[in-house]
Structure 1
Amino acid sequence: MINQCVTAALATRDANTNGVDSHNLGTGARRNERATRECTYPNFMKCQPLNFQGTEGVVKLTQWIEKMEIVFRISNYSMENQIKFSTCTILGNALTWWNSHVRTIGNDIAYAMTWTELKKKITDKYCLRTEIKKIKVELWELKVKGTDVIGYNQCFQELALLYGRMFPEESDKIKKYVGGLPYMIHGSVVASKPKTVQEATEMAIEVMDKRICTFADGQTENKRKPDNNQQPQQHHQNKRQNIGRAYAIGTI
């Protein structure tokens, strides 16, 4: 009797344990299913990829590629939908080019290509050599205008991204960036010995802000000081005017 009771208790325990394990496994499976659920096109578009029409130039094409790769990372897309989803953001002239390409090689081959292959094709089509050359010249001649370091930083980063092969090493990029800074902050940024362009840009902004604040404080202080050089002159002028008026009255 005791053995039967023990056996029944163990059986009940094992059943409960298996039930819990099954529940946990089931939950785990459901969690995995949610984590690996295929991204639908509406969900892909909710990640707000950019559109590209083929007329915006190299900068917009680069931004389209960068944004698309960000969307790929945050959306749980499947590889077979990568080209389908990304080409749906192509509009205008670029869409005409893509449709012509699809008709030439066929749907199966076109949509079986990789993202790397698509990037190369669209870059070869819309990144003209003449435009790349202009970017190179613009980057080489880029300098800070006045005290607008923030504007300089943005232009430099965009151009450096478009023509990255100009800088084989990070140190080359830093050297070019620092070379475009005005004399008033150039020495301070160099002295900070930045290891990355990001560090150099942050230091440039900080130093320029300090220079501007110092100049503004100096201007305010000068306005507060009395002009001792003009006061005596004004006093003598007033005195001469008063004497002149008195003389005129006396002669009437």
Structure 2
Amino acid sequence: MAPKKRTTRLNPKTTTTTPTTTSITNAQLKAMIDQGVTVVLATRDANTNGVESHNSRTGVRRNERATHECTYPNFMKCQPLNFKGTEGVVELTQWVEKMEIVFRISNCSMENQIKFSTCTLLGNALTWCNSHVRTVGNDIAYAMTWTELKKKMTDKYCLRTEIKKLKVELWDLKVKGTDVIGYNQHFQELSLLCVRMFPEESDKIERYTGDLPDMIHQSVVASKPKTMKEAPEIATELMDKRIRTFAQRQTENKRKQDNNQQQQP
């Protein structure tokens, strides 16, 4: 510790005392700097890896959640469908669609997709799966991709005769009366089961509009829908307008008839 120093101004009568100062060695200064750098780095890492991070451009703080690996209990909480293999192509299509939704919701990794999805198989489907595992071995069976599993199950449970019947049903599908909503639902179901019938989206739209009732057919075609999402929406809206107009005309005609009857002697 350095001794206190007293300084005297030009006026000998007045004296002042300077503040106490402490001399620091180079080693001590270096240690302080290192300590400060360590604190700064630790704070930065906490902000980067923690829940809260700061965006320097916008000044907005956002929450960052660490992605957790999907476990089997979490997978089952998303309620995947069971597949028994007894109802053919319709049951298989519904199982595949639901399973792919569950994969997305649960963040199921590709490594676990086969293990988790095959746990939903029951009855004949489970027997077929176990037989395949015994034939090729666990490592090979669970190393295949979801696409490969879908193909194997399609070859097993989607019989050609059944698909041919569905194609005939799709070609013969008509709108019953003004029930466009029922027609939309049935058409979508059959088109999903008969994917190869429509190589392009335009082919599916053309097939869909071809069997619409005459009262809305030309209007839907003139609107030129580009996707199969737009076409049913346009058809449903036009049919609703036609039904409302028809109901209004009936009400108006009935009112006129009642007035005429009252005016007659």
Indicate the TM-score class for this superposition, using the shorter chain for normalisation.
0.7 to 0.9
Letter in 2 for 1:85: F
Q: CA deviation at 1:133?
A: 0.2
Structure with the higher fraction of residues in helix conformation? 1
The one of 6, 11, 14 aligned to 2:37: 14
Distance 2:76 2:245 in 1: 48
1:54-69 superposed matches below 5 A:
54-69=85-100
Change in Cα spacing, 1:102 to 1:2, as seen in structure 2 (3 Å) is closer
Match of 2:66 in 1: 34
Match of 1:142 in 2: 173
Letter in 2 for 1:189: V
Q: Which has the higher contact order (CA 8 A, sep 6+)?
A: 1
Q: CA deviation at 1:6?
A: 6.1
1:38-187 superposed matches below 5 A:
38-187=69-218
Q: CA deviation at 1:33?
A: 8.6
Letter in 2 for 1:16: V
Distance 1:222 1:232 in 2: 15
* Cα offsets for 1:196-234 (capped at 9, x unmatched): 12111110000000000001111111221245776688x
Change in Cα spacing, 1:32 to 1:78, as seen in structure 2 (3 Å) is farther
Letter in 2 for 1:131: E
Aligned residues: 231
Letter in 1 for 2:185: Q
Give the secondary-structure state (helix, strand or coil) at the position aligned to 2:83.
coil
* Cα offsets for 1:169-221 (capped at 9, x unmatched): 21111110001101111011011111112111110000000000001111111
Q: CA RMSD in A?
A: 2.4
Q: CA deviation at 1:32?
A: 8.4
Distance 2:227 2:109 in 1: 35
Match of 1:24 in 2: 47
Name stretches of at least 5 consecutive residues in structure 2 with no aligned partner.
1-22, 52-62
Change in Cα spacing, 1:105 to 1:7, as seen in structure 2 (3 Å) is closer
Give the secondary-structure state (helix, strand or coil) at the position aligned to 1:168.
coil
* Cα offsets for 1:79-120 (capped at 9, x unmatched): 222111000111122112212222222222222221111111
Letter in 1 for 2:102: V
Structure 1 runs, 4 residues or longer, greater than 6 Å off: none
Give the secondary-structure state (helix, strand or coil) at the position aligned to 2:66.
helix
Distance 1:151 1:229 in 2: 40
Change in Cα spacing, 1:71 to 1:228, as seen in structure 2 (3 Å) is closer
Change in Cα spacing, 1:183 to 1:33, as seen in structure 2 (3 Å) is closer
Match of 2:232 in 1: 201
Change in Cα spacing, 1:178 to 1:33, as seen in structure 2 (3 Å) is closer
Change in Cα spacing, 1:17 to 1:91, as seen in structure 2 (3 Å) is same
Identity of aligned residues (%): 73
Distance 2:48 2:227 in 1: 47
Letter in 2 for 1:117: E
TM-score relative to the length of structure 1: 0.83
Distance 2:64 2:145 in 1: 26
Match of 2:247 in 1: 216
Q: CA deviation at 1:64?
A: 0.8
Give the secondary-structure state (helix, strand or coil) at the position aligned to 1:34.
coil
TM-score relative to the length of structure 2: 0.79
Name stretches of at least 5 consecutive residues in structure 1 with no aligned partner.
236-252
